[in-house]
Amino acid sequence: MMRNWPIQRKLHGIIALITILVLLVALTIMIIFSWIDDKRNLYFELEALAEVIADNNSANIVFNATQEATISLSSLKAKKNIVAAQIHSSVAQNELAYYYRDSLKNSDQSIVYKSKHEMDYFDLDKMEIFKPVVLENETIGWVYIRSDLNNLLHGIKQFLLLGLGVLILSMLIALILTRILQKTISEPIIGLTSATSKISDTEDYSVRVQKISNDELGSLTESFNSMLSRIESQNKALTKAKNLAEASEKTKELFLANISHELRTPLNAVVGLSDLIQEKKYPKELHEYIGGISASSKQLQALVNDILDLSKIQSGKLKFEVISFSLKELFEEISYTCNYHAKQKNISLSFDIDQNIPLLMGDPTRLKQILLNLLSNAIKFTDQGRVHFSVRCMDIKSKKARLIFKVEDTGIGIPPEKKEAIFENFTQADSSTTRLYGGTGLGLSICKHIVDLQNGKIWLESTINKGSQFFVELQYAISENTANKNTIKDLYFKNLNVLCVDDYPLNLTILSKMLEKSGIRTILAKNGLEAIDELKKHQIDIIFMDIQMPVLDGLGATKQIRALKDQIKNKVPIIALTANARESQKKEFTLAGMNGYLTKPYNRTEILTFLGGLFKDKLSHQAPIVKESEPVKNSDDSLTLDLSALTEMFGEDKALLRELIEQYKKEFEVQLHELDDIHKKEKYDQLSDMVHKVKPAVTYLKLTPLLNLFINREDAIKNQVFSAPDFCTQFQTLLKQSVAKIETYLQTT
């Protein structure tokens, strides 16, 4: 703390501290010597008094004259410090006389005679004297006197108060002298400090410090002034260069801001309108044209983003996130973007992805930016032939995967002398390239910067008029979740027991079938009470718990499970199954004792990925062949029955699919009756529960109009424009259509 004090306060503090320590040492020594001396004097006084009493009472001891001995001791009342006295007779072997001051406690009024072993004794609050009574060289008794030390302590306190007064006076004198004398040291230092503060605040290097003395502080002042002179001259040159650089940077920033604004404003309108148009139903050819508009406008948006990224890179503000991602999903997004442009140019676009690449940890957005740029360039500069993309995992060491991405085309190629230059800002292989193909020359530059910032490599091989090959080498950490999304449906488990809890039978069927296809044993329960009973009966590894259930809901069941006395069963992981996971609900799940949640509708990939991360020791692999089925459509384009999600989860087990769809039909018919009852009796407060029951099934069957109805309901409630009767009518209509679609499917398969 003292280290941060001003120099004046430090000098005051040091001198005051030394003064206090010296005076305290002196005062302590004086008090100790005074205490010792006073105790010695008191001892001599008590010893003399005891000797007088012994001499005066020798006859009383011989004749056992108790009364005379007591009168002899009563004279001690004049001595305020004496609290007790005794005369003990060795002849009669008894206590002949005693004296106790009134203030002495009863418990202290029993003094046991210890014969010749007695000796004088004192401590911090009393002093005791034992004096033998001798007659003709024979000890005939003892005199005992006890004195308190109050007088001594009172004297010490007075001495201490006097010493503290001297201490305070000495400190004041020392501080006054310090204030007068310390200026010779502190003033030059304070002058230097003030000058540095002023220079720091004003950046005025023309300031100089006045020299006060010719000692070391005077030399320091001269050196400081000399340093300021050199800095002043250098600063003038630096200021001039800085002003020029700032002017250039401001011009660049203004240009970037203006061009990004001018481009983004119309682009946002084009993107937004094209997305809205795509939601309408138009002929297939028109939809393709609109898709082209949307894709091109988004490409222009990417160009604007490139310009802004370049600005961030140059200013050191480009950030990378680290999240888990799957290359398979990344390439699905990339292929959707690139396929349209390749089709427009009538060139082949192919992908070859290494299936052994695990889940990775890194920034998928930046990787997508790199690969999209390379693929877009390859398509743009290829007029005929093909573009091929591949990725290989070269090795996995220390939980890190080294990947090589390759983009190959049969385009115009790049001259050898331009191989390095094309990675520079605003540079293309040839000036004619810009006229023929457009572009700013920023894409590859940004790619190189992003790769370099991730400690990767980017290079190319090319032959004029034959094509180019671009390579990117990057290293990514492997995600802790060992379940690879590319092969997740091939995962199998050994000895894994799962308790599934849901009041909706169809949800239980779907969840159990998903798990059983991966070798998992399932136990089913329809409410929280049943779940607790099943947990007590069986050895359960994990519980998937629905939240909204009759009898006992998921939160209540979880609390009761956590309160079980069985120290194994009360710690079983519990995963919430919910249609809407808001932040407030997530906190409720945690407080109730749940270990996580899955949002309905979940798919088999999500479930198995989740389990694969928790139960690595029970994991095994199998590779079944799964084919995706085509959506089941009919003449009514407004509502389509799509079984691809169910096929993805259960494969082409037609018997199982038919069983599930029949159950869906039965459930929908039951819910139609319930909806009719709600509508007639205006029990609209039950609509939320109805939506909660139906939503998973609607999602699995991809009944888009119903899903849109549910989404619009949530928006209407938020905007306070929700009409329950209208919603109920639409709900009934679409659910009837869904039952009809399912009936048509069952009759034709």
pLDDT digits (tens, 9 = 90+) for 393-424: 888 888 888 999 999 999 888 888 877 777 77
Identify the residue with better confidence: 6 or 660: 660
Tally of CB atoms within 10 A around 600: 20
Cα distance between residue 663 and residue 562, in whole Å = 34
Looking at residue 106, its pLDDT comes to 53
Could you tell me if 355 and 486 are in contact, meaning their C-beta atoms sit under 8 angstroms apart?
yes
Could you give the dihedral angle defined by the CA atoms of residues 376, 381, 386 and 391, in that order, rounded to the nearest 10 degrees?
A: -40
234: how many CB neighbours lie within 10 A of its CB? Answer: 11
For residue 569, count other CB atoms closer than 10 A to its CB: 16
Task: Calculate what percentage of the chain has a pLDDT beyond 90.
Answer: 12
Using CA atoms, how far apart are residues 484 and 469, in angstroms rounded to an integer? Answer: 29
Looking at residue 541, its pLDDT comes to 93
- Tell me how far apart the alpha carbons of residues 308 and 304 are, in angstroms, rounded to a whole number: 6
547 has which bridge partners? Answer: none
Cα–Cα nearest to 156, from 24, 47, 37, 22: 37
Provide the 3-class DSSP secondary structure of residue 348. strand
Contacts of 341 (CB under 8 A, 6+ apart): 295, 376, 379, 380
295-312 average pLDDT score: 66
Higher pLDDT, 49 or 324: 49
Global confidence as pTM: 0.35
Q: Provide the 10 A C-beta neighbour count for residue 457.
A: 13
Q: Which of 26-40, 151-165, 599-613, 670-684 has the lowest mean pLDDT?
A: 599-613
Cα(76)–Cα(56) distance, integer angstroms: 14
- C-alpha 594: how far from its chain's center? 19
SS3 string, 553-620, reads CHHHHHHHHHCCCCCCHHHCCEEEEECCCCHHHHHHHHHHCCCEEEECCCCHHHHHHHHHHHCHHHEE
CB 271 within 8 A of CB 301: yes
d(CA 745, CA 749): 6
Give the pLDDT score at 209. Answer: 74
Query: Alpha-carbon dihedral of residues 559, 560, 564, 567, nearest 10 degrees?
Result: -30
Residues paired with residue 493 on neighbouring β-strands, in sequence order: 619
What's the whole-number mean pLDDT along residues 734-747? 81
- Distance in angstroms (rounded) separating the CA atoms of residues 720 and 706: 21
Instruction: Please state, in angstroms and rounded to a whole number, the distance separating the CA atoms of residues 685 and 677.
Output: 12
| Mean pLDDT, residues 234-244 | 80
**CA nearest 454: which of 475, 472, 470, 425?**
475
pLDDT at 597 over 70: yes
* Dist. CA 157–CA 151, nearest whole Å: 10
Are 490 and 624 in contact by the 8 Å Cβ rule? The answer is: yes
SS3 (DSSP) at 142: strand
Euclidean distance between CA atoms 54 and 294, whole angstroms: 124
Confidence at residue 431, expressed as pLDDT on a 0 to 100 scale: 47
**Helix pair angle (327-344, 284-315), 10° resolution:** 120
The listed range with the strongest mean pLDDT (109-118, 363-372, 552-561, 667-676) is 552-561
Phi, psi angle pair for 52, to nearest 5° = -65, -45
518 pLDDT more than 70: yes
H or E, element range at 170: helix 150-181
> In the structure encoding, which two tokens stand for residue 338, read together?
């690139």
pLDDT of residue 531: 93
In one-letter notation, the amino acid at residue 355 is Q
pLDDT, tens digit (0-9, with 9 covering 90-100), for 90-137? 877 788 888 888 766 554 544 544 444 456 667 777 888 888 888 888
Q: Are 610 and 597 a contacting pair, CB within 8 Å?
A: no
Whole-number mean pLDDT of the chain?
A: 77
- Residue listed under structure tokens 């609607």: 698
SS (H, E, C) 359-404: CEEECHHHHHHHHHHHHHHHHHCCCCCEEEEEEEEEEEECCEEEEE
pLDDT tens, residue by residue, 248-286:
766 766 566 556 545 654 665 565 556 556 555 666 667
Most confident of 480-489, 574-583, 686-695: 686-695
At 486, the pLDDT band (50, 70, 90 cuts) reads very low
Query: CA-to-CA distance for 299 and 306, rounded, in angstroms?
Result: 10
Look up residue 113 and give its two tokens: 């005679």
- The distance of Cα 712 from the centroid of its chain, to the nearest Å, equals 35
**Dihedral angle at the C-alpha atoms of 624, 627, 631, 634, nearest 10 degrees?**
-110
**Residue that wins the pLDDT comparison between 371 and 210:** 371
Residue 383 structure tokens: 């007029």
Instruction: Read off the tokens for 235.
Output: 């600063």
Provide CB contacts within 8 A for 686, sequence distance 6+. 674, 678
Q: Residues 6 or more apart from 161 whose CB is under 8 A from it? A: none
pLDDT at 473: 95
Confidence of residue 630 (pLDDT cuts 50, 70, 90): very low
pLDDT tens column, 130-176: 888 888 888 888 898 988 888 888 888 888 888 888 888 887 887 78
Q: In what order do the strands lie in the sheet with 574-578?
A: 521-525, 497-501, 542-546, 574-578, 596-599
**The predicted structure's pLDDT at residue 535:** 93
Task: Return the residue matching tokens 């998903």.
Answer: 514
In the chain, helix, strand, coil percent, each to 5?
60, 15, 25
The answer to whether 35 and 160 are in contact (CB under 8 A) is no
CB atoms within 10 A of CB 138: 10
CB 43 within 8 A of CB 127: yes
Residue type present at position 458: I
- Condensed to tens digits (0 to 9), the pLDDT of residues 178-207 reads 777 666 666 677 777 777 777 777 767 777
CA angle 614, 616, 622 (to 5 degrees): 120
What value does the CA radius of gyration of the chain take, rounded to a whole number of Å? Answer: 48
Phi first, then psi: what are they for 204, rounded to 5°?
A: -100, 100
Nearest to 376 by CA among 334, 412, 414, 332: 334
How far apart CA 286 and CA 291 sit, in angstroms, is: 8
Residue 510: predicted pLDDT: 77
- Decide which of 581 and 75 is more confident: 75
CA–CA separation, 604 and 515 (whole Å): 8
Structural contact between residues 593 and 561, judged by C-beta atoms closer than 8 angstroms: yes
Task: Quote the pLDDT of residue 678.
Answer: 84
Express as a percent the part of the chain with pLDDT over 70. Answer: 74
Q: Which residues contact 431 (CB under 8 A, 6 or more apart)?
A: none
Q: Note whether 381 and 437 are within 8 A (CB).
A: yes
Q: Residues 328, 484: contact at Cβ < 8 Å?
A: no
Name 497's bridge partners: 521
